[in-house]
């Protein structure tokens, strides 16, 4: 499956899970595809349901996609805007990024949000306690070279077409409001923040919220799939065997490699939890006993990725610092 990448970036983006999720819902009939935590929207935009309700508590994401839906933003406008702003960025040797960031935090223009998302450090999305975008510049003044501008322009055009071809509703609301809208014949993909992991203005998450989410999903009577992490080298996500103990579990392992060399082996096991039987899923209790007995926790094949440049640089740096002094 050729994965379509949306124009927005975020650290929680599930591009790498799209294939897996998609293969699990091929034969399911449903009315609305609902996402209480749409983020960048990469999952919905690849699944391409006929009807979708896509929600998030971050108003900037919703404003961006509504602006495309209602044609306040077109791909032509994006090309022109990024070309002009990219030239300003280059002329200022990067300082202009901080002007755009200030302007965005005052006015919330969706084009400025796109600019920041594509020129900030590591494509992160992070907001401070006052709700201001606070990610620093990626330090590449020539960031918006023509090739990247064309790529982003095409991504916006693709999104516009996907939205026009379906019945897509974007809502800026808390997940508890979205839960109230779910009908039994809908299919829900839920990708909440990880408990206690990110502390961000729009993206903090507690155990109480996880329980409210579970109750809302189960009481809706709809089929649902939830993404979470199963374990990493140091920890297991025990909420799976407590809060989500009624759900089946499918798991995949992700790790990176440079050339033929594997690094960060066992980096992270991802899980899909569901009230349906997913492909290769096992019962919650079986997964728990596999973990207790230290048996394989994999229910599907491992995915290998080429290491991203940024991670490769930081690992090199770590190795360099660990070297004993001569
Ligand atoms: C892990 S990300 C979703 C990523 C998305 N699946 C993707 O691939 O881009 C979690 C999202 O939940 C949103 N969020 C956090 N708390 C929320 C809440 N209480 N209600 C609704 N959305 C919330 C965040 O703004 C963030 O976009």
pLDDT-derived band at 311, boundaries 50, 70, 90: low
Cα of 116 to ligand 1 centre, how many Å? 18
Mean local confidence (pLDDT), 220-240: 93
Band the pLDDT of 309: cuts 50, 70, 90. low
Mean pLDDT of 215-230: 97
Taking the C-alpha atoms of residue 151 and residue 146, their distance in angstroms, rounded to an integer, is 9
Query: How confident is the prediction for the chain on average, in pLDDT?
Result: 90
Give the nearest ligand 1 atom to 203 CA.
Answer: 15
> Burial letters for 269-308: b for 16+ Cβ neighbours within 10 Å, e otherwise?
bbbbbbbeebebbbebeebbebbeeeeebebbeeeeeebe
Q: How far is CA 255 from the centre of its chain?
A: 18
Q: Which atom of ligand 1 is nearest to the CA of 35?
A: 6
Say whether pTM exceeds 0.85: yes
Ligand 1 pocket, residues with Cβ under 6 angstroms: 10, 12-14, 36-37, 39-40, 42-43, 56-58, 174-175, 191, 193, 202-203
Q: What is the pLDDT of residue 326?
A: 37
Tokens 């799939």 found at: 225
Mean pLDDT of 289-300: 85
Ramachandran area for residue 188 (φ above 0: left; ψ -120 to 50: alpha; else beta): beta
pLDDT at 195 over 90: no
At residue 202 the predicted structure's pLDDT band, cuts being 50, 70 and 90, is confident
**What is the 283 CA–ligand 1 centroid distance (Å)?**
27
Pocket test for ligand 1, best of 56, 181, 199 (most atoms within 8 A of CB): 56
pLDDT, residue 321, reads 60
CB 151 within 8 A of CB 52: no
Residue 314's pLDDT is 56
The structural domains of the chain, ordered by start, are 26-69+157-316 (3.40.50.150), 75-156 (1.10.1020.10)
- What are 151-183's pLDDT values in tens digits? 999 999 999 999 999 999 999 999 999 999 999
Model pLDDT for residues 29-71, shown as the tens digit of each residue: 999 999 999 999 999 999 999 999 999 999 999 999 999 999 9
Atom of ligand 1 nearest to the CA of 10: 9
Q: Whose CA is nearest to atom 15 of ligand 1?
A: 203
Any idea of the CA torsion for 212, 216, 219, 225, to the nearest 10 degrees?
-110
For ligand 1, what atom is nearest to the CA of residue 192?
10
Expressed in angstroms, the distance from the first to the final Cα of the chain is 51
Give the range among 73-87, 150-164, 228-242 with minimum mean pLDDT: 228-242
């Amino acid at each position: 499956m050729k994965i379509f990448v949306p124009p927005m970036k975020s650290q929680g983006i599930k591009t790498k899970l799209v294939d897996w999720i998609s293969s699990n819902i091929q034969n399911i009939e449903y009315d609305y595809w609902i996402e209480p935590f749409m983020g960048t929207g990469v999952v919905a935009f690849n699944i391409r349901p006929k009807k979708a309700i896509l929600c998030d508590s971050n108003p900037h994401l919703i404003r961006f996609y509504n602006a495309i839906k209602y044609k306040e933003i077109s791909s032509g406008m994006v090309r022109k805007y990024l070309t002009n702003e990219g030239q300003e960025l280059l002329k200022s040797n990067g300082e202009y990024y901080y002007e755009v960031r200030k302007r965005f935090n005052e006015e919330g223009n969706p084009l400025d949000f796109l600019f920041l998302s594509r020129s900030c450090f590591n494509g992160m999305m992070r907001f401070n306690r006052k709700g201001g975008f606070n990610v620093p510049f990626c330090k590449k003044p020539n960031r918006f070279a023509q090739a990247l501008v064309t790529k982003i322009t095409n991504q916006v055009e693709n999104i516009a077409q996907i939205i026009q071809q379906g019945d897509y509703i974007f809502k800026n609301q808390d997940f508890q409001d979205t839960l109230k809208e779910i009908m039994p014949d809908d299919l829900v993909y839920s990708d909440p923040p990880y408990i206690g992991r990110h502390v961000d203005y729009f993206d903090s998450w507690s155990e109480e919220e996880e329980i409210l989410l579970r109750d809302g999903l189960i009481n809706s009577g709809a089929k649902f799939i939830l993404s979470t992490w199963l374990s990493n080298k140091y920890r297991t996500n025990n909420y799976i065997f407590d809060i989500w103990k009624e759900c089946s579990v499918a798991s995949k392992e992700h790790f990176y490699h440079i050339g033929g060399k594997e690094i960060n082996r066992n980096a992270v096991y991802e899980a899909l939890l569901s009230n349906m039987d997913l492909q290769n899923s096992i019962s919650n209790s079986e997964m728990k006993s596999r973990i207790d007995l230290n048996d394989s926790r994999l229910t599907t094949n491992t995915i290998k990725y080429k290491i991203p440049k940024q991670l490769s640089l930081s690992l090199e740096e770590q190795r360099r610092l660990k070297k004993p002094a001569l």
